[in-house]
């Protein structure tokens, strides 16, 4: 039977991995992820989880262990943050290119230099083009549930999944979380069936150097070249939407909780102003929307749960009635604007969505972002829009830019 406990986001992630019956855990500590690795070691040492716990010398090695273990057919798990994720960069590409269903929690933290241990989303955002599915969680219940969902998604499409949640804001904050029944999780998540073939009777190379063109192998079979392999990875990500939606629907049927699939909406039915973002800042935007409604503004919120593959069709439907759109981001594409802002504008191009869009960068390096500040920013943007200032450079919220 399920039960409710008060726990941190890191604990929720660890329980999700344990209930998923992972077989190999690669661990290297980095704040604010360290607690997650420690909890996994306790589960394994205490006999709650039968798995190999591999202590490595770096984050690069942690993902290398996961790649090797996944290749031979094990269900694997790891976690990291900030510069640790950046150190994995080469292997992120390798894991995706090898089509391995690795699950990794990114406990979001700002990257150096200068050093910070506090939260923003620049770490995972900077890895958006590595071929991983990225899912952003708004609370600790969603963290636990998403880790379980991530294995089902990854093992159907053979693409790795990064489960992202805000460091300290969620990782170390305690909330009530319902722990699902282990038997129900086993039924929901069937054993991993690897697509890689490792057999002494059928020896073969895995991920050898490929020529630019297609080529026959020793048996005369025409095999893909490098470009075909890249096309198939792109197609897998594009087609993952249906699997993500189906997984969230099936999870709801079994456990009674639904997290929205690609996006989630809050009071958007009649909303003329829509606030949006990813992770905890999107959750904060729901309170800001309530504040604005109390002042007579028809406001709502949309949370972008899956950043890659980007939910183009979903956001077109969610924002089609909006008369103004405000985006709050904990990351920036240096030299331009927030990446979510760019992606939304791109998704709306060629549609009937003509609402003005204002983007805000907020909360970098753990700077507080309160709901009332989001509401005040939204009102300032509405005033600018009414004054005819439809376009606006990215605004840095709570930042002394003078």
Per-residue pLDDT of the chain (402 residues; tens, 9 = 90+): 679 999 999 999 999 999 999 999 999 999 999 999 999 999 999 999 999 999 999 999 999 999 999 999 999 999 999 999 999 999 999 999 999 999 999 999 999 999 999 999 999 999 999 999 999 999 999 999 999 999 999 999 999 999 999 999 999 999 999 999 999 999 999 999 999 888 888 888 889 898 889 999 888 999 999 999 999 999 999 999 999 999 999 999 999 999 999 999 999 999 999 999 999 999 999 999 999 999 999 999 999 999 999 999 999 999 999 999 999 999 999 999 999 999 999 999 999 999 999 999 999 999 999 999 999 999 999 999 999 888 888 999 999 987
Instruction: Tell me the pTM.
Output: 0.97
pLDDT at 204: 80
Residues 294 and 182 in one domain: no
Element (H, E) at 152: helix 140-157
**What are 267's two structure tokens?**
């009071």
Give the Cβ contact number of residue 181 at 10 Å: 15
- CATH number of the domain that 159 lies in? 3.40.50.970
Please tell me the predicted confidence (pLDDT) of residue 211: 86
Report if residue 235 sits inside a domain.
no
Domain with 360 in it: what CATH number?
A: 3.40.50.920
Q: pLDDT tens-digit profile of 295-326?
A: 999 999 999 999 999 999 999 999 999 999 99
* Domain around 281: 263-396
Name the strand (E) or helix (H) holding 317: helix 312-318
User: In which residue are the tokens 């503004």 written?
Assistant: 297
Element (H, E) at 291: helix 280-294
Residue 203 lies in a domain: no
17, 161 Cβ separation under 8 angstroms? no
Verify that 177 and 272 share a domain, yes or no: no
Tell me if 111 is assigned to some domain: yes
* 247: in domain: no
Nearest to 345 by CA among 300, 391, 378: 391
Tens of pLDDT, residues 82-118: 999 999 999 999 999 999 999 999 999 999 999 999 9
Average pLDDT across the chain, whole number:
96
Q: Count other C-beta atoms under 10 Å from residue 118's C-beta.
A: 19
- Does residue 236 belong to any structural domain of this protein? no
Please provide the DSSP assignment of 104-141 as one string.
EEEEE---SSSP--S--SHHHHTTTTSS-EEEE-SSHH
Residue where a domain terminates, one of 144, 168, 188: 188
Q: Is 41 exposed, middle or buried (0-12, 13-18, 19+ CB in 10 A)?
A: middle
Q: How many domains does the chain have?
A: 2
Q: In this predicted structure, what is the pLDDT of residue 206?
A: 87
- Residue ending a domain, among 171, 188, 205, is 188
Question: 402 lies in a domain?
Answer: no
Same-domain status, 178 and 274:
no
Domain end: 166, 188, 210, which one? 188
In a domain, 215, yes or no: no
Of 224, 56, 251, 234, give the one whose Cα is nearest residue 147: 251
CB 275 within 8 A of CB 304: no
- Within this chain, do residues 46 and 178 fall inside the same structural domain, yes or no? yes
Do residues 184 and 267 both lie within one domain? Answer: no
The pLDDT, as a whole number, for residue 1 is: 66
Question: Could you write out the DSSP letters of every residue in 73-92?
Answer: T--EEEEE-HHHHHHTHHHH
Are 56 and 168 in the same domain?
yes
The number of angstroms, rounded, from the C-alpha of 124 to the middle of its chain's C-alpha atoms is 8
The number of angstroms, rounded, from the C-alpha of 120 to the middle of its chain's C-alpha atoms is 13
In a domain, 234, yes or no: no
> Are 42 and 175 part of one and the same domain?
yes
């Amino acid at each position: 039977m399920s039960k409710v406990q008060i726990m941190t986001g890191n604990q929720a992630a660890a329980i999700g991995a344990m209930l998923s019956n992972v077989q190999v855990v690669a661990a290297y500590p980095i704040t604010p992820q360290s607690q997650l690795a420690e909890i996994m070691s306790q589960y394994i040492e205490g006999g709650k989880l039968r798995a190999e716990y591999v202590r490595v010398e770096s984050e690069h090695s942690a993902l290398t262990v996961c790649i090797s273990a996944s290749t031979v057919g094990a269900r694997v798990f790891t976690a990291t943050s900030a510069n640790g994720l950046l150190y994995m960069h080469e292997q992120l590409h390798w894991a995706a290119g090898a089509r391995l269903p690795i699950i990794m929690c990114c406990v979001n933290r700002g990257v150096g230099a200068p050093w910070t241990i506090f939260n923003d989303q620049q770490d995972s955002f900077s890895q958006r083009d590595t071929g991983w599915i990225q899912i952003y969680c708004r609370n600790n219940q969603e963290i636990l549930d998403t880790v379980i969902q991530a294995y089902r998604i990854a093992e159907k499409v053979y693409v790795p999944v990064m489960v992202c949640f805000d460091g300290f804001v969620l990782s170390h904050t305690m909330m009530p979380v319902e722990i699902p029944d282990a038997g129900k999780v086993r039924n929901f998540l069937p054993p991993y069936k690897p697509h890689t073939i490792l057999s002494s009777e059928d020896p073969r190379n895995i991920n050898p150097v490929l020529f630019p063109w297609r080529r026959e192998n020793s048996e005369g079979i025409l095999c893909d070249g490098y470009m075909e392999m890249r096309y198939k990875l792109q197609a897998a990500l594009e087609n993952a939407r249906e699997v993500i939606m189906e997984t969230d629907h099936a999870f709801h049927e079994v456990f009674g909780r639904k997290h929205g699939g690609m996006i989630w909406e809050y009071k958007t039915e009649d909303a003329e102003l829509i606030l949006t973002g990813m992770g905890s800042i999107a959750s904060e935007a729901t309170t800001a929307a309530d504040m604005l409604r109390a002042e007579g503004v028809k406001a709502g919120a949309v949370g972008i749960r899956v950043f890659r593959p980007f939910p183009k069709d979903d956001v077109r439907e969610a924002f089609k009635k909006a008369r103004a759109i405000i985006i709050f981001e904990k990351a920036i594409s240096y030299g331009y604007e927030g990446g979510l802002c760019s992606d939304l504008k791109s998704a709306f191009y060629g549609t009937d969505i003509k609402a003005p869009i204002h983007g805000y960068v907020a909360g970098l390096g753990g700077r507080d972002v309160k709901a009332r500040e989001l509401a005040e920013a939204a009102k300032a943007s509405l005033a600018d829009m009414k004054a005819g200032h439809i376009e606006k450079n990215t605004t840095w919220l709570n930042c002394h830019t003078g």
